[in-house]
Amino acid sequence: MITQVFNTFKEQTPDDIRMARTPSIMLPLGTKAPDFVLPDTISGNQYTLDQIQGEKGTVIMFICNHCPFVKHVNAELVRIGKDFGELGVGFAAISSNDVENYPEDHPNKMKDTASREGYPFPYLYDASQQTAREYQAACTPDFYLFGPELELVYRGQLDSSRPGNNIPVSGEDLRAAINCLLEGRSVPADQKPSIGCNIKWKADT
């Protein structure tokens, strides 16, 4: 049943997809990164924020397997993780989706996706959805960049590319924010929300 829904979605036009878009909530800049303890679907290890934190900055991104907006940027997520991971920026991806109604996002399939795409960062499963709530994540993908003291310096979109808009995926916005952080410059506060599928909240939350 879910597969049928997804296949129908894939056949929709860009205008139809636009109707389904959910924007980031845009957590206030300066917010301290909420801590978490989540299992990595790749290694099976538990990860805390402290273990993810990079010496120069930390990127937390909410993604999932089935979202076409995430699939659209997966290759860039790998590139940006490799590029800046070697320069002291920590990365983690988190999936918080309800896997009962969206089995494509099950942890076993998260592991498959991480392996296939070559994610150079942990792909964490937020079963309780508590972490998504604490970060006020609204959509997939949704990006947060924290400074060395885990203060929020950027949140919002990876770049302006979306499925169907013919803008190349470049990671421009997040990369520019990371560049500012690494060079000791203030990240401009004029930041654009990410847009994607809504987080699939459980019915009882």
Partner 1 sequence: MESRYLNTTGQGDNKLQGPVPEIVPLTESLIPLYLKTGREAYRQYYCHLWPGGIPDPYLSRNFTAPILLGELGDPRYVCWLLFYKGEAAGICKMDLKKECRFHPTETSLSLGVGHGKRFPMAQNHAERGGALILLTYRV
**Angle between helix 68-85 and 172-183 (nearest 10):** 20
150 lies in the site for partner 1, by CB under 8 A = no
Within the chain, strands assigned E span 22-23, 37-39, 46-48, 57-62, 89-95, 123-125, 139-140, 142-146, 152-156, 195-198
90 lies in the site for partner 1, by CB under 8 A = yes
On whether the CB atoms of residues 64 and 201 are closer than 8 A, the answer is: no
Q: How far is the CB of 160 from partner 1 (least distance, A)?
A: 17
As a whole number of angstroms, the longest Cα–Cα distance in the chain is 50
Binding positions for partner 1, 12-41, rule CB under 8 A? none
Annotate each residue in 39-58 with x if it binds partner 1 (CB under 8 A) or - if it does not, as one string.
---xx-------x---xx--
> From the list 36, 69, 102, 121, which residue makes contact with partner 1 (rule: CB under 8 A)?
121
Pick 175 or 192: Cβ nearer partner 1: 175
- Which SS3 state, helix, strand or coil, does residue 155 take? strand
Total residues at the site for partner 1 (CB under 8 A)?
A: 23
Residues at the site binding partner 1, with contacts judged by CB under 8 A: 42-43, 51, 55-56, 83-84, 86-88, 90, 115, 118-121, 175-176, 179, 182-185
